Structure 1
């Protein structure tokens, strides 16, 4: 029996923030995968190594976590006043499913670097030294993101002394600005309230802040669901009952936010919304062994991503945290002590992160014009990824 040979596709494996993913230029994909649809999804699933019932991604480029089963497709922007179009695909680990419903804020930090190095930016806009400003059109959520990419001797500067909790080694700092992050899927607070009560089977009646900023996110109080806010991954990820309850919370919250009409639809929208729980500051030991003191942070936040507790914090969820913290009366704001603020430092399982946002009321509704954070990015490997020629 004859089998189709492998084909090779130009690709780059990159770290962006606390995530890793396989980056492609749209024009380098096989013709059948250059358009959205089953062929593209099948190709990316095979690249990552999904679905994998063993949960290891042994036969692909994925790392069998929500932070490492990611794909990015980039092209010269078709949007006026933008440099590059950025499409993100979150690949499920154990299901044949690619979720296109949201952005990856961490990998956003690598988009500008890849675009510069792969000829997607007008050379006239790229300085030999200094900072290259890359205007990114985030196609999943139709948002503008601005990346400030450091340059040295005509090349992207990747090495440096910027330290990011959740990443082992220092690198060059990349500032990322999420413009108008609260627009997109309706109002910033889709229920019209900064805090709601809603019923969730397995939890009962909970207080929650539902927000569309960075990525649709549901914030609840840690104490109300039986946690401290200092938990590390094992406490939740090794508890099947807890994972089932969080998925129930996410599904019912998605209905409340108007993202789906029935909880059964949540299985086809795994990337969004996110679930996060918050608590006032207290001392804890980060996953690296680093001691985090209550005085180091304004609030504790733990977030779920693709059904598991994230090892650090998703970049898009960090935008949601900053936006919610800037609005008086949200659960994030109250856990941080209340009042008005334009930046917040929160504690996550790997350490701390500071992110800023400016909020204001316009016509009785809250809006955030910009959220800013610093990340880093680095090329890990580049060349070709190989897949069986008949996999898509």
Structure 2
């Protein structure tokens, strides 16, 4: 006899250029409230993975890295924080969830969800104005500050803030990532795990290429577009339909992960798909974005294209934007050199969907670079709320 479906309270939200299924920890079945196989199996079934057809027809996922995501929140166990937040990047065609990193885009929705779902004390929510939500990001052990607009005591979601990569305008949410670089002793070591601003990677089939390897926001490997045969103006179609190109990027990612100390051997890269990211940079150049919007060279400081879960991202991952802003602020990195080589506190870069500005405060302390914060503006919106249903025996 078949086991009937169960229903779990859930909210489907967009944050930045991503969307995912949000849960309160206490609403999950007891077996899924702790990390482990039960939780992963439940979330895989919610999203609809693994799907050999690559469509997520039987789940809430959108069959892209930007839309195959799950978020779990609870009241914070940390002092001076409101909410604990963990993020799972759900693979599309394999039974795997990567918990190794954060999603910067969905971080923009965490504050709004926390306020609307009683995870922020009412005396901290103004009748009108900005509610500052203090978030503990459990995947990476970092603090995120979300400044959420409030109108009549409730989260304001509508507005005129336009974010390239998102179709409709919404209310602006400012996100501040505090001390976003890795600390000594953390996974992968310091902000520059090799101690160098620029390294050389020896990648089979490609040869020796320059790379900036940085742990800020999310571990990221930056290479020069010209060194791998690109201009930096590419859109998704130029890369995502080219299996040879995708395999080359995965080789760069795997060898960069090994040099960063994130894996012990190349084979381990296959089970660490969410991190590190790989991106390529180039000096400013005009192009037409995926929406048809013209981006002039004078509109931007540099070009950046980044891959997530093996595909070129349609815009830019929020955590990778933190890495871009941080690297741009440090003279001598490939990102900084592509932007002209000057010291800067903010950078506007061109991505496939348009442009994005990110600020970062970096300084050298005792000969080592450190970054105290990175700031960007995103938006967030509830798309649907209620219950998600899954077979009762799937976890």
Q: Distance in 2 between matches of 1:244 and 1:317?
A: 21
Equivalent residues in 2 for 1:318-329, closer than 5 Å: 318-329=321-332
3-state SS in 2 of match to 1:245: helix
> How big is the shift at 1:376?
0.1
Equivalent residues in 2 for 1:271-350, closer than 5 Å: 271-350=274-353
Q: Distance in 1 between matches of 2:320 and 2:207?
A: 25
Alignment match, 1:90 = 89
Alignment match, 1:150 = 149
Alignment match, 2:38 = 39
3-state SS in 2 of match to 1:40: helix
Root-mean-square deviation (CA, aligned residues, Å) is: 0.5
Alignment match, 1:358 = 361
3-state SS in 2 of match to 1:135: strand
5+ residue gaps, structure 1? none
Equivalent residues in 2 for 1:245-264, closer than 5 Å: 245-264=248-267
Alignment match, 1:222 = 225
Alignment match, 1:70 = 69
Runs ≥4 residues deviating over 4 A:
none
- TM-score normalized with structure 2 length: 0.99
Write the deviation string for residues 208-262 of structure 1: whole angstroms up to 9, x where unpaired: 0000000000000000001000000011100001111111110110000000010
> How big is the shift at 1:183?
2.6
> How big is the shift at 1:128?
1.2
Q: Distance in 2 between matches of 1:48 and 1:301?
A: 29
How many residues align structurally? 391
Q: Please tell me whether residue 165 in structure 1 is matched to residue 164 in structure 2.
A: yes
3-state SS in 2 of match to 1:202: coil
- TM-score normalized with structure 1 length: 0.99
3-state SS in 1 of match to 2:269: helix
Mean Cα displacement is larger for which, 68-77 or 123-132? 123-132
Alignment match, 1:206 = 209
> How big is the shift at 1:47?
0.2
> How big is the shift at 1:326?
0.2
Q: Distance in 1 between matches of 2:205 and 2:82?
A: 47
Alignment match, 2:16 = 17
Q: Please tell me whether residue 126 in structure 1 is matched to residue 125 in structure 2.
A: yes
3-state SS in 2 of match to 1:372: strand
Write the deviation string for residues 5-59 of structure 1: whole angstroms up to 9, x where unpaired: 0000000000000000000000000000000000000000000000000000000
> How big is the shift at 1:339?
1.4
Alignment match, 2:392 = 389
> How big is the shift at 1:363?
1.3
5+ residue gaps, structure 2? none
3-state SS in 2 of match to 1:324: helix
